[in-house]
A = this chain, B = another copy of it.
Amino acid sequence: MNSETPVVYLDNAATTFPKPEAVYRDMDSVYRSSGGNAGRGANPLARRAAALVAETRELAQTWLSAPEVTFSPSATIALNTIIFGANLRTGDVVYVSPFEHNSVARPLEHLRKTLGIVVRQLSYDKQTMVCNLDAIRAHFRIEPPSMICVSHVSNVFGILSPVEELALLARQASPSVIVLIDGAQSAGLVPLELANIDALVFSGHKSLYGPYGIAGVAFGRDWRPAPFIYGGTGTRSESLDMPSNGSDRYEAGSQNISAVAGLRAALIWLKETGRCSIYDHVSSLTAQLTTTLAGLGGVFIYPSNSRVEHSSVVSFNINGVSPQIVETALGARSIAVRAGLHCAPWAHDFASTLTQGGTVRTSLSFFNTEQDVLALAEAIDELLQHA
């Protein structure tokens, strides 16, 4: 297809697109004017870059209500930092939700194979995809958690997990538990109290409407992981050890100034636009999407319980048609959705969607409109006529 054809973009769980204009503008203008190396020396450009990083960190801390934020180039690296930096030992039990992304599942599987940690799935109902807090409390008592890893919003099914309650249950069962929340799809959009959460991982380029190249960890408590990436920090350079505290400990290498500028612009845009305004718009569109899709015979939305609230992400399948064929057919109509496993095989194992090649996933952002939802519904209706 011609690269100029306008696309109805419904793959915002992969990356929100487009970005607020200020994000594009600042990425360009700040990089042109202040593209020095932050924290490396005291020259004017390095100072400007360092001030930008400090300001963005403060904005992120405020927006996420976190006492400390460190930056990473991606949420994947932030999750690796927490999981590999947790100093888990043989036999330690790590609980996960059934919806964890491969950026959590693959590091844990590596530790299971090489170190002998035990990975257990938290109890969730297969029909409603709601977690069973009583069963979980009982499991925690029998086999106390060393760590729990839960995604706040599933990147496949869009369902919200009650992470504050899960964190509290885990903390009650094991005061030294490490609570890791994967907030790639939710951070900054769905409010979260970090009191019992050690690490909330956020992605700049998803729910924060910023660019690729910047993500990080919001630390809610005193626990800090061991360093994962070793290198130059521009501080205490005479030492062959990483700094023993502070964000430098996790930020070896040059800061990505263009990405930081984009994240700063996004955080300012979020504040000006308002969390509620964004959340309400996306929620209302998501409700419209699920209602419209449910109204089309032959479309199966996950989970089947229509009372479940989807947070911007809705997965479905069309009877007898592979998700990949649906994706391609929609793509030919300039509608961008995503088919497959969405890097979360556990979720499809749980929902029994593995053998059919996963699901068709639609995911919305503040920049989607009712027209986008209608365009999708019309296109699917057409597909159903020909299926």
Contact = CB atoms under 8 A, between A and B. Distances in A.
A237 B334 contact: no
A46 interface: yes
A186 to B, nearest CB: 17
Contacts of A354: 238
Given A76-B229, A237-B342, A240-B345, A258 B11 contact: no
A75 B44 contact: no
A241 B106 contact: yes
A249 B12 CA distance: 25
A40 interface: yes
A152 B120 CA distance: 47
Contacts of A199: none
A1 B41 contact: no
Q: Number of copies of this chain in the oligomer?
A: 2
Contact of A43 (B106, B239, B336): B336
30 contacts: A9-B45, A11-B36, A17-B36, A18-B32, A18-B35, A19-B31, A19-B35, A41-B336, A41-B337, A41-B340, A42-B324, A42-B328, A44-B331, A44-B334, A46-B338, A73-B77, A73-B256, A76-B231, A76-B232, A102-B230, A102-B232, A102-B252, A106-B232, A107-B230, A109-B240, A109-B241, A205-B254, A211-B258, A212-B259, A237-B343
Interface of A: 1, 3, 5, 7, 9, 11, 14-15, 17-19, 24, 27-28, 31-37, 40-46, 48, 73-77, 79-80, 101-103, 105-107, 109-110, 205, 211-213, 227, 229-234, 237-242, 252-259, 324, 327-328, 330-331, 334-345, 348, 354
